[in-house]
Chains A and B, each alone.
Chain A
Amino acid sequence: MKALDILTTAIGNSFRSRLRTTLTVIAIFIGAFTLTITNGLGAGINDYINTQVASIGAPDVMTVTKPVKATTATDGPAKYDPATASRVTSGRPGASTLELTDTDIAVIGAIKGITAVDKSVSVRPDYIEWQSAGKYVMSLGQFGSGIKIDLAAGKQFTAGTTALEVIIPTTYVATMGFANNAAAVGQTVAIGITDALTTQTSIDATIVGVQNTTLLGSNATVNSALKNALYAAQSVGLPASSTTQYASVVAHFDGTATKAQIATIKKDLVTASYEGTTVADQIGTFQTVIDGIILVLNAFAVIALLAAGFGIINTLLMSVQERTREIGLMKAMGMSAGRIFGLFSAEAVFIGFLGSAIGSGIAIAVGTIVSRVLARTLLSNLPGLHILSFTIASVGTVFLLVMGIAFVASVLPASRAARQSPIDSLRYE
Chain B
Amino acid sequence: MTSVVLSTHNLTKHYGSGSTRFDALKGITLDIRDGESLAIVGKSGSGKSTLMHILALLDQPSGGELMVDGTDAATLKGKKLNLLRNRTFGFVFQQFFLTPNASVLDNVMLPLKIARIGSRERKRRAMAALTQLDLVDKAKNKAVNLSGGQKQRVVIARALVNNPRIIFADEPTGNLDSATGAVVEDILFALNKEQGITLVVVTHDDELAARCDRRLYLHDGLVVDAVDGPTSKKKTVHA
Q: Please report A residues at the B interface, Cβ cutoff 8 Å.
A: 1-2, 5, 9, 12, 16, 325-326, 328-330, 332-336, 339, 421-423, 426
Contact = CB atoms under 8 A, between A and B. Distances in A.
A1 B101 CA distance: 20
Given A325-B97, A326-B97, A423-B53, A335 B114 contact: yes
A310 B180 CA distance: 47
A333 B116 contact: no
A347 to B, nearest CB: 15
B85 to A, nearest CB: 4
A12 B102 CA distance: 9
B83 A422 contact: no
Interface string B81-108: 1111111010101010101011000000
B58 A1 contact: no
B115 A334 contact: yes
B85 A332 contact: yes
Contact of B101 (A5, A16, A325, A330): A16
Interface size class on chain B is 20 to 34
Interface of B: 53, 56, 58-59, 78-79, 81-87, 89, 91, 93, 95, 97, 99, 101-102, 110-111, 113-116, 119
Contacts, number: 57
A12 B89 CA distance: 27
Given A422-B58, A423-B53, A426-B58, A1 B113 contact: yes
Contacts of A9: 113
B93 A336 contact: no
A334 B86 contact: yes
B113 to A, nearest CB: 5
A335 B99 contact: no
B110 A330 contact: yes
B115 to A, nearest CB: 7
Contact of B114 (A326, A333, A422): A333
B175 to A, nearest CB: 14
Given A325-B97, A333-B91, 14 more contacts: A1-B113, A5-B116, A16-B101, A326-B97, A328-B97, A330-B110, A332-B56, A332-B85, A333-B85, A333-B111, A334-B111, A336-B79, A423-B53, A423-B58
6 contacts: A5-B116, A12-B102, A329-B110, A332-B89, A334-B87, A335-B114
B97 A2 contact: no
Nearest to B50: A423
A336 to B, nearest CB: 5
Nearest to B79: A336
B82 A334 contact: yes
A325 B53 CA distance: 15
A426 B59 CA distance: 11
B82 A329 contact: no
B99 to A, nearest CB: 6
B99 A326 contact: yes
Nearest to B119: A5
Contacts of B83: 334
B116 A2 contact: yes
Contacts of B53: 423
